[in-house]
Amino acid sequence: MMNRIVLGVIAVIGFFTLTEALTCNSCQVGVLGKCLFSSKVDCTVNQTNCFTAKAEFNVTGFLSLSTSGCTSECNTTTGTILGAGYTVNKFCCATDTCNGASSVQLSMAGALSAALLASIWSGYML
């Protein structure tokens, strides 16, 4: 009886150590199709998909923001920020780094502007 319990515990530990987390490209904020701050992240067990999301504002039509990373939900959402309507389309995939992300170099002023935008943006995307 005790041997079975020990073997069961070893099997469970082995299962969890062999299970690898999904790795996704992460982008906090992207503007006009270019990621401003990119990296690779390991997803949690509950996050089974990589995603790339693109938000388009109804008022401007030409400005779009994007983000990418790990997620457990893949859906389209709509809402408003300061009275401006937007639509967020989220595209998902389930293999390592399948949500390609590219980065660009920014000037200091551009980086500060992007950081401010990212802080506002991330509150609405999550």
pLDDT given at position 46: 93
Does residue 103 carry a pLDDT above 50? no
Cβ atoms of 58 and 126 within 8 Å: the answer is no
CATH 2.10.60.10 fits 23-125, yes or no: yes
pLDDT given at position 36: 86
> 107-123 pLDDT, tens per residue?
444 444 555 555 555 55
> 68-86 pLDDT, tens per residue?
999 999 999 999 888 888 8
pLDDT given at position 120: 57
**Domain residue extents for the chain:** 23-125
pLDDT given at position 107: 44
**What is the C-alpha separation between 7 and 48, in angstroms, rounded?**
29
> 12-67 pLDDT, tens per residue?
454 444 457 899 999 998 987 788 889 999 999 999 999 999 988 887 666 788 99
Q: Looking at residues 95-109, what average pLDDT do you find?
A: 65
pLDDT given at position 104: 46
Outline where DSSP puts E strands in 18-83: 23-31, 34-35, 38-42, 49-57, 64-71, 77-81
| Closest to 33 in 3D by CA, of 15, 10, 16, 56 | 56
> Model-level pTM?
0.63
> 30 is written with which tokens?
């992207």
pLDDT given at position 81: 83
Does residue 4 carry a pLDDT above 80? no
